[in-house]
Amino acid sequence: MSTINIQHLSLSLISIHLLLIIFPSSTGAAPIGICYGRVANNLPRPSSVVNLIKSNGIKYVRLFDIDPTTLKSFSGTGINLTIGVPNELLPFLANAKEATTLSWLQSNVFAHIPANQVRYIAVGNEVFLKDPFYTPHVITAILNLYQALKTLNLTNSIKLSSPQAASVVTNSYPPSAATFDPYIESAIIPLVQYLYDSRSPFMVNVYPYFSYINNKNHVSLDYALFKSKNNTVRDGALSYSNLFDASVDAFVSAMEKVGFEGVPVVVTETGWPTKAGEAASDENASVYNGNVVRRAADDVGTPRRPETGMEAYLFDLFDENKKGGEEYEKHFGIFGLDGVKAYDIDFN
């Protein structure tokens, strides 16, 4: 793409505010943010993207890497970040000496973004599912980074965790039956132990969309889209009217089964595609994402934890045209490249 096009794009990004999702900021609401995936070759410049995010009142953003230009673009905006350490860096960070980890953190993160804008550092993403080769490095990298944050006196304000795919749990029906997959249990127990000890959240990527398209005989669209009028799934004294809650509570049950109660959960990705797949449409995506936002705004928890609203990050800011896998995986974007998306979301 030529420079002229990019500049044109950035101007239109700043000037157009047609998006109908409203990101709430009132207190008493659970944080709601958006993922800024960049597996694409046609995205606007980070500075334009930051303007788009700001003009839509979005206060929390998840980044998947530590690109300096992107980090700098958020500096001073008041937007709080979840910063992703890419999986490929785990062996380095797991084996680095204390001083090396500290200087890595300073020169790659805090040189570009003030510490008070960093909410979480997500160490790897779906490692146990996608990069099992790196599995043993997850907890070691986290512990090294923790020591570095401790040296900087930042362990109270910045929490470390490692987002997991739904596949780390098995037997998730009903949610109370869920257990961690025995093949990854030896890796996940030290992680959950760390999260428990350091009061950090278990991070999960939750996609009712995938569950729906892969199990249509058992999962209704209404259950996946939060539209079910009935409590579809009974689970002892609890009952579930949507798959999002059931998925989150499956992780909670699995953690409890290995002995850890009370570890908070943050949904680090959730979303619905707009095209190129079964049930993929603007309308269905709008219903799904709108419900996630509304529930965070209303501080709605899950049946196992009704008192705690769900902090969640919608996936994704833009379509990502270089994403591999199924075609619909490219189409989770909430905003068009021009900053406009006709996503009718009703908050009443």
Ligand X SMILES: *[C@@H]1O[C@H](CO)[C@@H](O)[C@H](O)[C@H]1NC(C)=O
List residues near ligand X by CB under 6 A.
Answer: 59, 80, 116, 153, 156-157, 221, 230, 278-279, 281, 283-284
Q: Measured from the CB atom, is 88 or 278 closer to ligand X?
A: 278
Number of helical (H) and strand (E) elements in the chain, helices listed first: 12, 13
Distance CA 87, CA 208 (A): 24
State phi, psi for 160 to the nearest 5 degrees: -105, 140
Distance CA 207, CA 315 (A): 10
Contact 271, 286 (CB under 8 A): no
Task: Tokens 């207190």: give the residue.
Answer: 27
State in angstroms the smallest separation of the CB of 228 from ligand X.
7
Residue among 260, 258, 220, 244 nearest 309 (CA): 244
State in angstroms the smallest separation of the CB of 76 from ligand X.
12
Residue among 324, 321, 306 nearest 43 (CA): 321
Containing 122, the helix (H) or strand (E) segment is strand 118-123
Contact 302, 267 (CB under 8 A): no
Give all strands (DSSP E) within 169-301, no chain letters: 169-170, 179-180, 202-205, 233-235, 238-240, 265-270
Which tokens belong to 273? 């595609």
Q: Is 36 helix (H, G, I), strand (E, B) or coil?
A: strand
Contact 221, 279 (CB under 8 A): yes
State in angstroms the smallest separation of the CB of 202 from ligand X.
20
State in angstroms the smallest separation of the CB of 290 from ligand X.
13
State in angstroms the smallest separation of the CB of 25 from ligand X.
7
Q: Measured from the CB atom, is 150 or 322 closer to ligand X?
A: 150
Contact 40, 64 (CB under 8 A): no
Q: Measured from the CB atom, is 31 or 44 closer to ligand X?
A: 31
Q: Measured from the CB atom, is 97 or 229 closer to ligand X?
A: 229
Q: Measured from the CB atom, is 2 or 153 closer to ligand X?
A: 153
Catalytic: 320? no
Point out the catalytic residue in the list 256, 261, 269, 278: 269
Residue type, 340: V
State in angstroms the smallest separation of the CB of 332 from ligand X.
15
Q: Measured from the CB atom, is 22 or 221 closer to ligand X?
A: 221
Catalytic: 126? yes
Point out the catalytic residue in the list 88, 98, 126, 185: 126
Q: Measured from the CB atom, is 42 or 281 closer to ligand X?
A: 281
DSSP state letters, 295-308: HHHTT--BTTBTTS
User: Phi-psi bin for 124: left (phi > 0), alpha (psi -120 to 50), beta?
Assistant: left
Secondary structure letter of residue 326 according to DSSP: S
State in angstroms the smallest separation of the CB of 345 from ligand X.
13
Catalytic sites, residue numbers = 126, 269
